[in-house]
Chains A and B, each alone.
Chain A
Amino acid sequence: MLAIENLNKSFGALRVTRDVSLSVSRGQCHAVIGPNGAGKTTLIHQISGVLRQDSGRVLLGERDVSHLSVWERAQAGLGRTFQITSVLPTFSVQENVATALQAKTGSSLRFFAPAADEAALNDRAQTILSRVGLADRTDLPAGNLSHGELRLLEIAIALAGSPKFLLLDEPMAGLGKTESMALIDLLNDLRADFPILLVEHDMDAVFQLADALSVLVDGEIIATGAPSEVRENPQARAAYLGDGA
């Protein structure tokens, strides 16, 4: 569903992405782990179009999206969440989701009819909010949500774009134990419908969710495979997992 082929990116003399290739197929959750500064977020930025790769390709399904802009990739079916929560803080929770839905439902070059009165958008937003467990937060300004709720809202926004593929940048970051467990359940549930590329530090989450795992060190994938294999890989252990893992 998503394939990355020989991606390279340098900032000056610093090579932040070295020849990275990986693919995620339907029904799969592929996790990318690696120490801080390994280039995980840079990789996500290249997939979503925030940064342009120096060479290599990003394929979404059969389509080469390497040279599309951020919004074009979103329209092509790439949904993403951010490491640092990114929502529309003055919008209500429902309007956050409705705004994302609107991008895929008819033209947004309508200048007169009040958007907030569009029942079709609001109802679908409500369905999505129920799915992530925010149904009782509908009318609250998004800026008033707790950190855990914001992470859920981000996922709701990503789902509203009816993505073909989800790119999740550390969705567990900053969550407490119970919140993480709820989020893991949610992601396990979503995986059936959306292939996921997950960048995550929380190893519990990674081992519970991922079907495949890649270890990124200094911009390079040093090991990739099923989590159980990677766990036994000495290189990966040395670089990242540590003895406790």
Chain B
Amino acid sequence: MDRGLVIGGVIFAFLLAMPVLLPIVGAEYLTGLLIKAMLLAIAAISLDLIIGHGGMVSLGHAAFIGVGAYTTAIGLQSGIEEIFVLLAITLGATGAIALVTGILALRTSGVYFLMITLAFGQMIYFTLTSLAAYGGDDGLTLWSLATLFGSDIVQDGRGLFFFVFAALLLTWIGVWRVSQSRFGRVLRAARDNPQRAEVMGYPVARYQLIAYVIAACIAGVSGLLLVQYAEFVSPSIAAWQRSGDLIVAIVLGGLGSRNGALLGAFFIVIMEEFLSSFLHEWRLIYGPLLVLLVLFAKGGLNDLLQPTSREAS
């Protein structure tokens, strides 16, 4: 049995048990915390497709969360409430923006790719702050939320928890399958040695662009769910610092591994919550902790749990 699959399975089983367990322990607020962690994990897993498997370090990924969130918020404001309709619009909007920015960004690589994705990300961020009709800098509180086939079951509590859980599970399975597919193999080959992949007969940039668009679309979905959870949207979710957080999550968890992004995202959210609960200057501990982890666990948390296998190849 594949150890990565087992570890992932345990995490998901644990999540699934939460809504049942939490009311017993009497800690409802933890549901919210876990939803936050799951949303971060969805975005982190999608970013890992392009960074971990694709070798394209983007510093503009959070902007796609922003595009997804604002598309959803604007959709809701315009009276569209069915969640799958909002999902379709969100995928269309993030996909289209990713396609255009990706074509331009992928003319570069390495640190230039990082800079250009940062630039596009900031452009999107400032565009969002200028949307005066939708709250500008201050953001926008949503008075109506998305419905699932007309029912309000996905608006809060367990319904929303399970909906986010399903999205995370699909992302976790889907991104890993993609990374191990024929397509993913070409993507990983291009990460390892783009020139070699090209000489093998692959139009490398095309594969990278497809991966970039897929990753952006998934980030867009996490934006949609974020609106549904927070009942509020503001440009800060698209800021480049948020992209940095996502990179920290996947590096910490282990790049290009089955559970790395998942573990990293949960670790970050839980540590933040835990450390900040007893120490105002919690970053004083958090920072050195990150340094230690990166120094002494090169393969990230995933490698600590799964020391021998470097299955991502």
Contacts and interface: CB of A to CB of B under 8 A. Distances in A.
Interface of A: 48, 50, 69-71, 74-75, 80, 82, 86-92, 95, 99-100, 102-104, 106-116, 118, 141, 157, 161
Which of B182, B195, B203, B204 neighbours the largest number of chain A CB atoms within 10 Å of its CB? B182
A197 B181 CA distance: 35
B180 A75 contact: no
A149 to B, nearest CB: 16
A50 B180 CA distance: 29
Nearest to A158: B199
A113 B182 contact: yes
Contacts, number: 101
B204 A71 contact: yes
B28 interface: no
B199 A99 contact: no
B273 interface: no
A95 B183 CA distance: 14
A110 B183 contact: yes
Contacts of A91: 188-189, 192, 313
Contact of A88 (B182, B184, B192): B192
Given A91-B192, A91-B313, A107-B182, 20 more contacts: A50-B195, A71-B202, A74-B201, A86-B196, A87-B196, A88-B197, A90-B188, A90-B192, A92-B313, A100-B201, A108-B186, A108-B202, A110-B182, A111-B181, A111-B182, A112-B181, A113-B182, A114-B177, A114-B181, A116-B180
Contacts of A111: 177-178, 181-184
Q: From DSSP, what is the main secondary structure of chain B's interface residues? A: helix
Given A74-B198, A86-B193, A115 B182 contact: yes
A109 B195 CA distance: 20
B185 interface: yes
Contacts of B178: 111-112
A106 B185 CA distance: 14
B200 interface: yes
Contact of A99 (B181, B185, B310): B185
A89 B193 contact: yes
A46 to B, nearest CB: 14
Interface residues of B, number: 27
A89 B192 contact: yes
Interface in B196-235: 196-204, 207, 210
Interface of B: 177-178, 180-186, 188-189, 192-193, 195-204, 207, 210, 310, 313
Given A90-B313, A92-B313, A102 B199 contact: no
A112 to B, nearest CB: 5
Which of B184, B195, B200 neighbours the largest number of chain A CB atoms within 10 Å of its CB? B200
A80 B201 contact: no
A110 B181 CA distance: 6
Which of A87, A95, A108, A110 neighbours the largest number of chain B CB atoms within 10 Å of its CB? A108
A71 B196 contact: no
A87 B193 contact: yes
Contacts of B200: 71, 74, 99-100, 103, 157, 161
A114 B203 CA distance: 21
Given A86-B195, A99-B185, A115-B185, A71 B203 contact: yes
Given A75-B201, A100-B200, A88 B183 contact: no
Nearest to B176: A114
Contacts of B180: 114-116
B183 A108 contact: yes
Contacts of A106: 182
B113 to A, nearest CB: 20
Which of A92, A99, A161 neighbours the largest number of chain B CB atoms within 10 Å of its CB? A99
B183 A109 contact: yes
27 contacts: A70-B195, A71-B199, A71-B201, A71-B202, A74-B201, A86-B196, A87-B193, A89-B193, A90-B188, A90-B310, A91-B192, A91-B313, A99-B185, A99-B200, A100-B200, A100-B201, A103-B200, A103-B201, A107-B182, A108-B202, A110-B183, A111-B182, A111-B183, A114-B177, A118-B182, A141-B313, A157-B200
